[in-house]
Amino acid sequence: MTRTVIPPGNVAPPVSRTRLLALSGVGWMFDAMDVGLLSFILAALKADWGLSPAQMGWLGAVNSVGMAAGALLFGMMADRIGRKQVFIITLLLFATASGLSALAGTLAILLALRFFIGMGLGGELPVAATYVSERVPAHERGRIVVLLESFWAVGWLLAALIAYFVMPRFAPDMGWRIALLLGALPAIYALYLRCGLPDDTPAAARQDADAAAPATLSWTARLARLWSAPYRRPTLMLWVLWFTVVFSYYGMFLWLPSVMIAKGFALIRSFEYVLLMTLAQLPGYFTAAWLIERIGRKAVLILYLLGTAASAWAFGNASNETALLLSGALLSFFNLGAWGALYAYSPENYPAPIRASGVGTAAAIGRVGGILGPLAIPFLGAHGWGTGGIFALFAAAIALGALAVALLGRETRGLAA
């Protein structure tokens, strides 16, 4: 039986929890499909266009440049004009640029379009988490936001299925283009679904929660508010956490098919293995969703981040096929569970008038890590680093994020929105 969520006060009008998850999650799923497809397309483009490792790194990095810009721009905008409007703007931007990228004839054009795809993605994800978290009662808010984030795993699975079953059926110069077109068409449908979402709380009502941070504040004043005494500690913690998580995620996962090829597996075999590893993302989300309302946000984040660090080290040092698959599956399990907890935890550190700004700014800092992560592998590889050393670096970054949560984070389970 579908429950109706009725948040307290003027946070938001009632909305079906199932409908909220479905309408928000479909767009989230297709966003993930695009990011997942990029990891497979990088491997295909290397063969089709003869890209160098540095050029492949920049394709991954420019996506994060756009995500950083989008998270900052649209996060601030969502506190001024509303979450739902920013939902639609960002999804339209992402869908249009994704479709056009299938027609790209040069690396420069593809890089430009990947920037705008990144802007749409970067703006949508933190705003979506904020929108959903404001509409769910405190006792189940964390679980619902983690379940929203679980749609990311479904999107990655779709990307892996397209890469394994669809791309090989076309010529090398067409397979990746078909994949991008498939990634764009459902996003247009998701835009249609988003129009069915209820309007969010007006800015004037959100202002009531914190009179010192009215919706009319300038961007610079809003940023200064995030670093004022009440929010300085959570802001620092979230910036470190987002940077380390995004740095390691994009450094590791965008390169998974290419790393598999470097370890001696054929392109199609590598896609098959990544598909198997990706299946482990779903139980990672579901266990995090179950635990987050039982042991709290901090404990789940620290547990899953440390599991990610250990799995990353094991993957980088795997010496046989079984160890590679097992460590890769554990890496997917723990890392994506941590992502779910991250999206649930971040909005709860700020009051409503600066909530989207706070989450968007932290996500923007994270995307700086996403710029550096994909560039780290070719750069360090050119300087003699092996896969083991590079993945040990990612493991250390994740451990730093866990330490920031342990020392600076506060438990937010059960707090009012």
Written as six digits, the tokens of 160 are: 């892996």
| Helix H or strand E segment including 5 | strand 4-5
Residue with tokens 């054009």: 109
CA–CA separation, 254 vs 194, rounded Å? Answer: 28
**Residue among 19, 258, 31, 251 at smallest CA distance from 158:** 31
Q: Distances in Å between the alpha carbon of 123 and those of 78, 126, 298, 350?
A: 9, 6, 25, 18
Q: Distances in Å between the alpha carbon of 338 and those of 52, 166, 223, 281?
A: 32, 30, 26, 10
Q: Give the 3-state DSSP-derived string for 71-130, with helices as H, strands as E and coil as C.
A: HHHHHHHHHHHCHHHHHHHHHHHHHHHHHHHCCCCCHHHHHHHHHHHHHHHHHHHHHHHH
Residue 159 pLDDT: 86
Length of the chain: 417
- Report the SS3 class of residue 4: strand
- Number of neighbouring beta carbons within 10 Å of residue 396: 14
Beta-carbon contacts of 194 under 8 Å, excluding residues fewer than 6 positions away, are: 23, 27, 84, 87, 88, 91
DSSP classification of residue 195: T
Residue 1 pLDDT: 37
CA–CA separation, 42 vs 79, rounded Å? Answer: 36
Residue 247 pLDDT: 93
Write out the DSSP string of 366-398. Answer: HHHHHHHHHHHHHHHHHTT--HHHHHHHHHHHH
CA–CA separation, 7 vs 416, rounded Å? Answer: 9
Domain ranges of the chain: 16-197+227-408
Phi, psi of 5 (to 5 degrees): -90, 125
| Helix H or strand E segment including 15 | strand 15-16
Beta bridge partners of 16: 4
Residue type, 227: W
Among 1.10.1740.10, 3.40.50.450, 3.30.70.660, 1.20.1250.20, what is the CATH number of 16-197+227-408? 1.20.1250.20
- Number of neighbouring beta carbons within 10 Å of residue 293: 20
Beta-carbon contacts of 43 under 8 Å, excluding residues fewer than 6 positions away, are: 257, 258, 261, 267, 270, 271
The answer to whether the beta carbons of residues 70 and 120 sit under 8 Å apart is: yes
Residue 269 pLDDT: 62
- State pLDDT tens for residues 28-51: 888 888 888 887 787 788 878 888
Residue 404 pLDDT: 97
Written as six digits, the tokens of 365 are: 């800092």
DSSP classification of residue 213: S
**Residue among 159, 133, 138, 129 at smallest CA distance from 366:** 129
Residues of the chain falling short of pLDDT 50? 1-14, 202, 204-206, 208-209, 211, 213
Q: Using CA atoms of 57, 401, 362, 415 in order, give the dihedral in degrees to the nearest 10.
A: 150
- State pLDDT tens for residues 184-212: 877 777 777 777 777 765 454 445 445 45
